[in-house]
Amino acid sequence: MRMNGKTSYLALLAVGGLILSLSGVAVAFSSMGTSAMGFYRMLLGGLGLAGFALWRGLRWRMTRQALLYACLAGAALALDLYWWHKSIRMVGPGLGAILTNCQSFFLAGLAWAVFRERITVVYFVALVLAATGILMVSGAGLPVAAGPDSASEHWLGVALGLASAAAYALCVVFIKKGQTPPHATHPAVNMAVLCAAAAPCLLTAAWLEGESLAIAGAADFGTLLLYGLLVQGVAWLMVSTAVPHVKASLAGLILLAEPIGTYAIDVLFFTARPTPMALAGMALTLAAIYAGSTYGGAPSGGAPSGGAPARRMAKAQGSGH
């Protein structure tokens, strides 16, 4: 997947984020256990990515650093899914989408601490405005849980959602670190290894919690295919392709498009009805994302130029022929 220019990578990241918006809907409407569903997502997504890599004849050779960071990213994503799935069942996909997308704040801090990225005033204002817009959308009609059994369960769901946001941010950081030249490999190979690392973690969680891996019927099977192949396979391949070429903090801002996509799906296919507040929130979020991505600072880690690292990067991300 070869691309050139900042705009192309930002667009790829945005489309990947919009496809990821299917996640909350899939989890909310599936009858499977939360950890079992995460396991199938990693299993099916990993098999799809591995099949794609084999079909394209991609190189599977990875440096130790790339392998380490892919495994760490897999462990972080497993934690993200474990906590987020439980949060959705407690607070609903609407608030669940808000909570996990607090990743943008965690990612901004990690970007400053790990990559020494400069967080500009424009970026921070855009981030706050985007989060405000998402809150407006959520309050205006995203599906919520029918009602938690108790206040303690509700706040546990909130805490798990925030924990998933932190794990989500760590996953993005590990992907970016592992895809830094000269350690970069093709994103499909990197994500297949990530899935292979995450799947056993979620399988263990399902076993410890006594969840069944049985697929109840055609509806659950279709949901798992959507969740595994499209969300984990296609969407995360897009994200992992774009992240090395975009500032980590900016990636967090762009991925705020995910809950907007969740709301749009609910309006188009389920019970939500668009309201003036929701539409205003969508407009505010999209405008803030545009402003932050356009005026919030230049991307880092773009396509390398010159020297042996650049040649190794180009070779790693080529077709492998």
The string of pLDDT tens digits covering residues 141-162 is 444 444 445 667 777 887 898 8
pTM of the model: 0.74
pLDDT of residue 200 exceeding 80 = yes
pLDDT digits (tens, 9 = 90+) for 207-220: 999 999 988 888 88
pLDDT at 5: 62
pLDDT at 303: 36
Which residue carries 């994200």 as its tokens? 239
* Average pLDDT of the residues in 40-62: 91
pLDDT of residue 317 exceeding 60 = no
Distances (CA, A) of 74 to 128, 172, 197: 29, 10, 5
Give which of 209, 188, 190 is closest to 85, Cα–Cα. 209
pLDDT digits (tens, 9 = 90+) for 266-294: 677 666 677 788 788 878 877 877 777 66
Phi, psi of 150 (to 5 degrees): -160, 165
> Is 299 exposed, middle or buried (CB count within 10 Å of its CB: 0-12, 13-18, 19+)?
middle
Task: Give the rounded percent of residues in the chain with a pLDDT score beyond 90.
Answer: 22
pLDDT digits (tens, 9 = 90+) for 201-256: 999 999 999 999 988 888 888 888 889 999 999 998 888 888 888 877 777 777 77
Query: Taking the domains of the chain in order of start, what are their residue ranges?
Result: 7-139+154-296
pLDDT digits (tens, 9 = 90+) for 90-125: 877 666 777 777 777 787 788 778 877 777 787 788
Question: Which string of DSSP letters, residue by residue, matches 296-318?
Answer: S---SS-S--SHHHHHHHHHHTS
Contact 90, 154 (CB under 8 A): yes
* Average pLDDT of the residues in 18-34: 79
* Average pLDDT of the residues in 68-85: 93
Cα distance from N-terminal residue to C-terminal residue, the chain: 14
Question: Which amino acid type is present at position 315?
Answer: K
What's the number of CA atoms in the CB half-sphere (13 Å) around residue 182? 7
Structure tokens at 252: 């967090």
Residue 291's contacts (CB-CB under 8 Å, 6 or more residues apart) are 122, 126, 129
Give which of 171, 201, 11 is closest to 106, Cα–Cα. 171
Give the confidence band of 312 by pLDDT, cuts at 50, 70, 90: very low
CB neighbours of residue 152 within 10 Å: 9
Find how far residue 178's CA is from the centre of its chain.
Answer: 16
pLDDT at 73: 94
Distances (CA, A) of 24 to 53, 61, 94, 95, 154: 28, 34, 8, 10, 17
Question: Which amino acid type is present at position 118?
Answer: R
Taking the C-alpha atoms of residue 193 and residue 211, their distance in angstroms, rounded to an integer, is 25
